[in-house]
């Protein structure tokens, strides 16, 4: 028996027939019709044809304001003039060499001049690779095996990075000693055993756990903004506790700033005044092309020196490729502190507007985040950590998905988990358009919320 389709899902399908047809073709060549789990959503994602500034255009001829920006990586939106020019000039010169390039050196110098904790660095091809190599660095210099990561923290697509990514209430255990949970059946028990899970934003519990495992911990890795679990900012007290305890116990502290580097020229560590040992980067430093980077204390980074007797082997075919380096240098050269300050203010305006709109419509929910990074969670409880965010997602159920589809039909693109980020082509007018779209979507959605999820009504 065919499953009944929700009326609002049917409206989405009727509104996007060409995307539907293209996704039928995609399912013949890709499992589920996609090659990227994070970008997939039901009943099918829209197929985009082009982007321009802060706008996207899909296969059905719809125009959108893009508040996703390829999951925060496009700081200047789409087809940014200086970036396009740099890439266009580089293509006929060659796209990748098994050799350094001038742009590679200059981009690293620019990053080092802005992020005080980075004395030396290396480029790689993704944020995933950046965190992986930072952890290998920590293991090499400490001689220890175990890693501490935060419950709900996302550091890429490999086994250790995805431990306890989703804090399932049925298995996560006590908050003082969270269990190491596999995200799927591909995670081996050995990885779970080598991962100590720490609750986010609990400084005293973090101090206790680090003390308990200090003799076996190589590194503590943390996102200053808990990205995939609702853009929950870490408290300065929590990050300070991690810094103090790792320093006391000779454990490498790694900040994953793949997402949060955009919050200031010096990253979130600069805004908080906390210096990690290693920093992982990605997204904006490549100007829209595949990229990753990691760096920090010179003595730690020397383990990658190929002239060293005991080097950590890091070979990556497209690390520092000429095309990405040209793109990244042009992009970051055109992104200064005044630019991050301006889009951070726009992010604050977006959250205020979203929160006011949710309140006006009598819907339990809030927009949280920091600076240019925001996330709507359909809960009026305090969102302190991944467990709080998870509880909000469970309570909202399918309504979050309907809200996402409704906003798409109103011309607003966000991540399906309701993450929004700001790019430099945006101004106050674009923010107001998004706020109006949310109001219109909630008006359409409210009767279904009353019938299907009445607990979300104030």
Contact call for residues 289 and 91 (beta carbons, < 8 A): no
Q: Are residues 198 and 159 in the same domain?
A: yes
What pTM, to 2 d.p., does this model score? 0.96
Residue 2 lies in a domain: no
Q: Are residues 40 and 85 in the same domain?
A: no
Q: Are residues 300 and 447 in the same domain?
A: no
Residue 452 lies in a domain: yes
Residue 110 lies in a domain: yes
Residues of the chain with pLDDT under 70: 1-2
| Number of domains observed in the structure of the chain | 2
**289, 305, 333 - which closes a domain:** 333
How many C-beta atoms lie closer than 10 Å to residue 124's C-beta? 26
Q: Are residues 416 and 428 in the same domain?
A: yes
Q: Are residues 124 and 240 in the same domain?
A: yes
Which value, in Å, is the radius of gyration of the alpha carbons in the chain? 22
How many C-beta atoms lie closer than 10 Å to residue 91's C-beta? 11
Per-residue DSSP letters for 58-88? ETTS-EEEESSHHHHT-TT-BS-HHHHHHHH
Residue 55 lies in a domain: yes
Q: Are residues 167 and 291 in the same domain?
A: yes
Question: What is the C-alpha separation between 129 and 35, in angstroms, rounded?
Answer: 18
Which DSSP category does 319 fall into? T
Q: pLDDT at position 310, please?
A: 84
Residue 1 lies in a domain: no
CATH number assigned to the domain comprising residue 302: 3.40.640.10
Q: pLDDT at position 2, please?
A: 63
**333, 365, 382 - which closes a domain:** 333
Question: What is the C-alpha separation between 93 and 343, in angstroms, rounded?
Answer: 34
Give 202's contacts (C-beta < 8 A, 6+ positions apart). 175, 238, 385
Q: What is the domain extent for residue 150?
A: 81-333
**305, 333, 361 - which closes a domain:** 333
How many C-beta atoms lie closer than 10 Å to residue 348's C-beta? 17
What is the b/e burial string over 417-448, where b = at least 16 CB atoms within 10 angstroms of the residue's CB? bbbbbbbbbbeeebbeebbebbbebbebbeeb
Q: Are residues 325 and 355 in the same domain?
A: no
Q: Are residues 130 and 41 in the same domain?
A: no
Dig out the tokens for 266 from the structure.
Answer: 């010096």
Question: What is the C-alpha separation between 228 and 152, in angstroms, rounded?
Answer: 7
Residue 154 lies in a domain: yes
């Amino acid at each position: 028996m065919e499953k009944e389709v929700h009326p609002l899902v049917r409206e989405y399908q009727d509104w996007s027939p060409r995307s539907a047809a293209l996704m039928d073709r995609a399912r013949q060549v890709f499992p589920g019709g996609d090659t990227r789990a994070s970008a997939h959503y039901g009943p099918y994602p829209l197929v985009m044809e082009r982007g321009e500034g802060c706008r996207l255009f899909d296969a059905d001829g719809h125009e959108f304001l893009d508040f996703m920006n390829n999951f925060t990586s496009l700081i200047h939106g789409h087809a940014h003039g200086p970036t396009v020019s740099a890439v266009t000039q580089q293509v006929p010169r060659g796209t990748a060499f098994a050799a350094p390039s001038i742009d590679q050196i200059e981009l690293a110098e620019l990053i080092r001049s802005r992020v005080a904790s980075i004395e030396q660095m290396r480029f790689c091809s993704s944020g995933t690779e950046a965190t992986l190599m930072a952890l290998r660095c920590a293991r090499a210099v400490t001689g220890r095996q175990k890693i501490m990561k935060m419950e709900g923290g996302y550091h890429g697509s490999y086994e250790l990075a995805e431990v306890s990514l989703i804090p399932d209430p049925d298995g996560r255990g006590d908050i003082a000693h969270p269990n190491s949970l596999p995200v799927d059946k591909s995670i081996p028990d050995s990885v779970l055993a080598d991962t100590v899970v720490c609750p986010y934003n609990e400084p005293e519990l973090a101090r206790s756990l680090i003390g308990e495992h200090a003799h076996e911990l190589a590194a503590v890795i943390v996102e200053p903004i808990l990205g995939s679990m609702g853009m929950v900012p870490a408290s300065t007290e929590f990050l300070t506790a991690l810094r103090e305890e790792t320093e006391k116990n000779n454990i490498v502290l790694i900040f994953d700033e793949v997402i949060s580097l955009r919050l200031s020229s010096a990253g979130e560590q600069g805004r908080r005044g906390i210096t990690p040992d290693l920093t992982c980067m990605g997204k904006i430093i490549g100007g829209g092309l595949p990229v990753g980077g990691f760096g920090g204390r010179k003595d730690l980074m020397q383990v990658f020196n190929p002239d060293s007797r005991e080097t950590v082997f890091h070979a990556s075919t497209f690390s520092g490729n000429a095309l990405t380096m040209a793109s990244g240098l042009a992009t970051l050269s055109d992104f200064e502190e005044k630019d991050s300050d301006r889009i951070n203010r726009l992010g604050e305006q977006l959250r205020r507007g979203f929160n006011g709109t949710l309140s006006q419509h009598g819907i339990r929910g809030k927009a949280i985040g920091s600076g240019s990074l925001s996330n709507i969670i359909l809960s009026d409880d305090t969102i302190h950590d991944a467990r709080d965010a998870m509880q909000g997602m469970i309570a909202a159920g399918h309504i979050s998905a309907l809200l996402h589809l409704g906003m798409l039909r109103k011309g607003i693109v966000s991540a399906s988990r309701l993450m929004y980020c700001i790019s430099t082509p945006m101004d106050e007018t674009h923010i107001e358009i998004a706020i109006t779209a949310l109001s219109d979507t909630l008006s359409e959605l409210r009767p279904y919320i009353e019938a299907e999820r009445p607990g979300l009504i104030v």
